[in-house]
Structure 1
Amino acid sequence: MRFFKYIIMNIDLHIHSKEYSLCGVSTIEEQIEAAIAAGLDAVAFSNHDRLVPRERMNELHRQYAPFKIFSGIEVTVQGGEHILVIGLYDPALEGGKWEYPALHRHVRKHGGFMVLNHPFRFNSTIEIDYRRFPPDAIEAYSTNILSSLTPKIMQVAQEINVPVVSNSDAHVKKDVGRHYNMLEGTPTTDKELVDALKSGQFTPHFN
């Protein structure tokens, strides 16, 4: 077990809401309130190929402070894999028309953080060139990842030397709080969150 020296932020980087994901069931407020009730300190909304508008994010920040709400997006790349992008609020990411190498270069250029979400969920292989274009992390624990797949995912992460994360991928409020990450520090901006994640000072947790 890892022992932390600093203040810990319990954060889920992969949550959906019905307003911005067609498959979402719970509202953005319901998801936030479920996260607070579960003891989380922060979430990142990562809807399918769609950002939460800045005006809405500002409203939520005012409404739920000191709880932290970060911006993310789950980008569907050609081949069908889902790539979580954190810390890069860019409308160019919307629409689901990216090829993975181009997305990788774009996020690297602009200082975001990339996670390969729930690999092997839809296919028996990973449909991107993750060796040539490694993500910053791989999602190994989630409500949408079978526990039997986790060892296989861990092998991929070890092969390319990247950490793993644990996110709920919650589309409904009952799933919020089941998976999250224990992050050292208390980032308040998207850039601070990216810096904290890139430092690797976090541990995946699940209930």
Structure 2
Amino acid sequence: MELRIDLHLHTTLSHDSTVTLEDAIEGCRRLGLDGFAVTNHDVLTRVPESALDDSGLIILPGVEIKAEGIHIGAFDIRELPEDKLSLGETVDRIHDQGGIAIICHAHSVLGTWLNRGNIVEAGFDLVEVANAYQFPYWMMVDLNRRLARRLGRPETGGSDSHIPDTVGRAYTVLEAEERSAEGVLDALRKGRCRGEGRGISLGERLKWPKVRV
């Protein structure tokens, strides 16, 4: 079955987001998405059972961490890797727990992360190709997709939302065997996924710095 999941989203447990869990649920429902992942900065977020039961959505706990300045989306891990590890060591710690490591928004108009660490040798499982906050959106999608091809890795997508208005703007399309968090993780591991969506508007972009600290 085909599932659409916003695989990169921040809630108020991230220092720079105003999105509540209820905002994320409402936004994904409005857009007809099947669910979302909570990827707060450096915080492993537990999703309340009540939210899982009542929302009817798949809500996947994850985390966004940094190593050598590169952002990594990690899923299916129990504890955060230690600080100040190299990029490869951080990805290894994720894999040691049976987790999944995604390189997030590897390019920007200010430059690329390809000269940081050793991305080719780090062993990422997937590449975030569609990130709604990247600008200009389609140029960044193209550059990220080239990286995915270079690494021979499947692609993902996520809104990277920090405000309620942009929840679900970009997402991952997965071919899953079941409609569940386990089904999403299995599809990611098998690479049965792709990134889709569109970028945020200038007006939405201007709202984000107001909540950053």
Q: Is there any run of 5+ residues in structure 1 with no aligned partner, and where?
A: 1-6
Contact 1:13–1:45 at 8 Å: present in 2 too?
yes
Consecutive aligned runs of 4 or more in structure 1 exceeding 6 Å deviation: none
Out of 81, 85, 92, which is 2:80 matched to? 92
Output the TM-score relative to the length of structure 2: 0.82
**Residues 177-201 of structure 1: CA deviation (Å, up to 9, x unaligned):** 21111211234244x4322112121
**Residues 33-84 of structure 1: CA deviation (Å, up to 9, x unaligned):** 111111111111000000113xx432321231x211111000111x211100
Question: Residues 17-166 of structure 1 correspond to what in structure 2 (within 5 A)?
Answer: 17-18=11-12, 20-53=13-46, 56-64=47-55, 66-77=56-67, 79-88=68-77, 90-93=78-81, 97-121=84-108, 123-126=111-114, 127-146=116-135, 147-166=138-157
Give SS of 2:3's match: strand
The one-letter code sitting in structure 1 at the alignment partner of 2:157 is S
Give SS of 1:138's match: strand
The one-letter code sitting in structure 2 at the alignment partner of 1:75 is I
C-alpha distance in 1 between matches for 2:192 and 2:171: 14
The one-letter code sitting in structure 2 at the alignment partner of 1:103 is T
Question: Residues 165-204 of structure 1 correspond to what in structure 2 (within 5 A)?
Answer: 165-185=156-176, 186-190=178-182, 192-204=183-195
Contact 2:44–2:80 at 8 Å: present in 1 too?
no
Q: Is there any run of 5+ residues in structure 2 with no aligned partner, and where?
A: 199-213
- Measured at CA, do residues 187 and 110 of structure 1 come closer, stay the same or move farther in structure 2, by a change above 3 Å? farther
Shift of 1:102: 1.6
- Measured at CA, do residues 57 and 76 of structure 1 come closer, stay the same or move farther in structure 2, by a change above 3 Å? farther
Contact 1:112–1:194 at 8 Å: present in 2 too?
no
Shift of 1:97: 4.3
RMSD: 1.9
Q: Which residue is equivalent to 1:10? A: 4
| Matched positions, count | 193
C-alpha distance in 1 between matches for 2:72 and 2:48: 21
Shift of 1:158: 1.2
C-alpha distance in 2 between matches for 1:145 and 1:98: 26
Shift of 1:120: 2.1
C-alpha distance in 1 between matches for 2:22 and 2:139: 33
Contact 1:75–1:96 at 8 Å: present in 2 too?
no
**Residues 146-180 of structure 1: CA deviation (Å, up to 9, x unaligned):** 22233222222111101221111011121112111
Q: Report sequence identity in percent.
A: 23
Output the TM-score relative to the length of structure 1: 0.84
The one-letter code sitting in structure 2 at the alignment partner of 1:9 is L
